[in-house]
A and B are shown apart, each in its own frame.
Chain A
Amino acid sequence: MPEIKMPSLGADMDAGTLVEWRIAVGDHVARGGVVGLVETQKATMELESFADGIVEALLVEPGAKVPVGTVLARLRDGDATSAGPVQLPPAAPAPAPPLAPPPLVPPPVAAPTGGAAPLPAAAPTEVAAPPSARVRGSPAARQRARELGIELASLHGTGPHGAIVLRDVHAPPVAPKPRPAPSLASPMRAAIAAAMSRSKREIPHFYLSHTISLKRALAWLAEVNHDRTIQTRILPGAVLLRAVAVALWEYPELNGFYVDDAFQPSEEVHLASAISLRTGGLIAPAILDADTRTIDELTQDLQDLVVRARSGHLKSSELTSATFTVTSLGDRGCEAVFPVINPPQVAIVGFGSISERPWVEGSTVVPHPTVVAVLAADHRVSDGHRGGLFLSTLDRLLQDPAKL
C-alpha cells in the first residue's frame, strides 16, 4: 500500500516538521502532487506524493516533528469504483505512534538558547549597590554604564575624587562571550555542518582544476541574445549547466549515490545548483532530468529554482533526488571554488567567476573570458584519470555551444 513518508533531504536531515496538510482523507492524490508542507532545518518545502492513490489516513498532525522515514499518510490504490472517504482501512487503522508528540527527535546541535540571549546585562546588575548612595561619575561614564546595564556604584573610580570616568566602565567580564555559538545555533548552520562534516569524514575527495575559455560560448550567447528580451535571454549559467549535464552522460561514475558501501549510478541526471539564501546558508535543489532540458529551458528552470528556494517553495523531490551538484560563484566571486561533495552524491563541480585572462592563441597571447572549473569527486568511485577526462569533455562541449 502506498505511503507518504517524511523525506530525507540528504545527509544533513534527520527529522522534519509537518507544517500543514493540503489533503484530507478520501482525496485523490496523483504522483508528484503536493500534499502538504514540511519544514526542515534548512527550508520549508512542498511535500509530494510519490504514488497515485486515495488518502486513507493522515497519521501525523501538523506541528509534529518526526524522524526521516516516518510514515505521514497512507494511501490506498485509487481505482475509480471505490471512492468515498467512508470505508474502514483493511488493516489496523492508523497506528498510534507519531500522531501527537512533537519532539521525537532531539533538537539539532541545540546550542544552549540561553547563551545567545540578552548580552551582558545579567549578572552584574545583581550586585546591587545602595541606590541612595550618590556616586560621582562623568556624564560619558554614566551614559556608557547605562548602555552596558552596569550600576555605577559597583565600579571603582579612578577620576578626580574617585569619580568614575569613561575608562572605568568596561563591559562586565561575564562568561566568555557567546559569540561563536549563535552560528551553530542556527538550524541552517547546524544542517550544513552535519552534512559537510560527514562528507569530509567519509568521502575521500580528490580535486581537479581546469581553466576553460568561454570566448566562443559567450560570443554565441551574445549572438543568440541579440534580438531577445529580458524574459527570453539565455544566462551563461544555463550554458554551463547544460554542458555539465551532457558531459555526465559519458561519465556515469560521477552521477549517482554512494549508499550502503556501494555506488549506485543514476540513469537520470538531476542537477543540483547551490543557491545562497539571503537569510544565510545555502540550499542545493535539483533541476530534475536536467539532461533532457534545453539551454532555454534551463535558464527558466534556474531562475524559477532560485526564486522558489529563496521564498521557501521548493518541492521535496527537488531536495531529495539530486545526482550531481554544480556550484557557481557568479560574476563577483573569486576565481575558483574547491567544493565539498554533498553526500550521498559522489561528485560536484565548482565554477569560479567568469573573468578575462591571458590566453595563448597560436603564437600570440590574447584576452579571453575564462572560467576555472574544479571537480571534486569521490575516490571510492572514480579516479583522477576519469575526472580529468570529464573536465576535458566539459571544455570540448563549451567550445561548440550551438551543438549543446
Chain B
Amino acid sequence: MTTLPDQILATLCKIAPDVDPGSVDHARPLVDQLDLDSIDYQTLLATLSKEHRVEIRAVDVPTLRSIDDLARYVETHRRSP
C-alpha cells in the first residue's frame, strides 16, 4: 500500500510527466522546485479533491504548498466513504 504522500506525488506526475518523483522534496513548496504554473496547480488540487474525496476550500489554497501540506490537508479533511 503506497503512502498518501506517494499517491499525491503520483497524481502530480500525471499532470507534469516531466517531474522525477525521486527528486521532489516533500517539505519544500512545489512551485519552488518544479516548473508548475497556476493552471497545473489548479489541476493538481482539483484532481486530489476528486481522488481523495476532499473538499478543498479556495481560501485554503495558499496554505497548500508542499507534498507534506497536501498530505496533511487530505488526511484531516477526508470525508468518510
Contacts and interface: CB of A to CB of B under 8 A. Distances in A.
Contact of B38 (A225, A276, A330): A330
Nearest to B56: A230
Contacts of A229: 49, 55-58
A307 B40 CA distance: 8
Contacts of B40: 306
B43 A303 contact: yes
A331 interface: yes
Contacts of B49: 229-231
Contacts of B18: 278-279
Nearest to A225: B58
B16 A303 contact: no
A228 B55 CA distance: 10
A279 B58 CA distance: 30
The B contact surface, by secondary structure, is helix
Question: What band does the interface of chain A fall in when counting residues whose beta carbon is under 8 Å from B?
Answer: 20 to 34
A302 B43 CA distance: 11
Contacts of A231: 46, 49
A233 interface: yes
A235 interface: yes
Ranked 4 nearest A-B pairs via Cβ: A233-B58, A230-B56, A225-B58, A306-B39
A226 interface: yes
B37 interface: yes
Query: Chain B: interface residue count, which band?
Result: 20 to 34
B31 interface: yes
B45 interface: yes
13 contacts: A226-B58, A226-B59, A229-B55, A230-B61, A231-B46, A231-B49, A235-B42, A237-B39, A278-B35, A303-B42, A303-B43, A306-B39, A306-B43
A230 B38 contact: no
Nearest to A276: B37
A332 interface: yes
A332 B33 CA distance: 12
B81 interface: no
Nearest to A222: B59
A303 B43 CA distance: 7
A232 B49 CA distance: 12
B22 interface: no
B8 to A, nearest CB: 14
Contacts of B43: 303, 306-307
Interface in A228-276: 228-233, 235-237, 276
Contacts of B16: 278
Given A230-B56, A278-B16, A278-B17, A235 B38 contact: yes
A236 to B, nearest CB: 8
A231 B51 CA distance: 13
Given A230-B46, A237-B38, 14 more contacts: A228-B57, A229-B57, A230-B42, A230-B57, A231-B46, A231-B49, A232-B58, A233-B58, A235-B42, A236-B38, A278-B18, A278-B35, A302-B39, A330-B37
Contacts of B31: 331-332
A273 to B, nearest CB: 10
Nearest to B45: A230
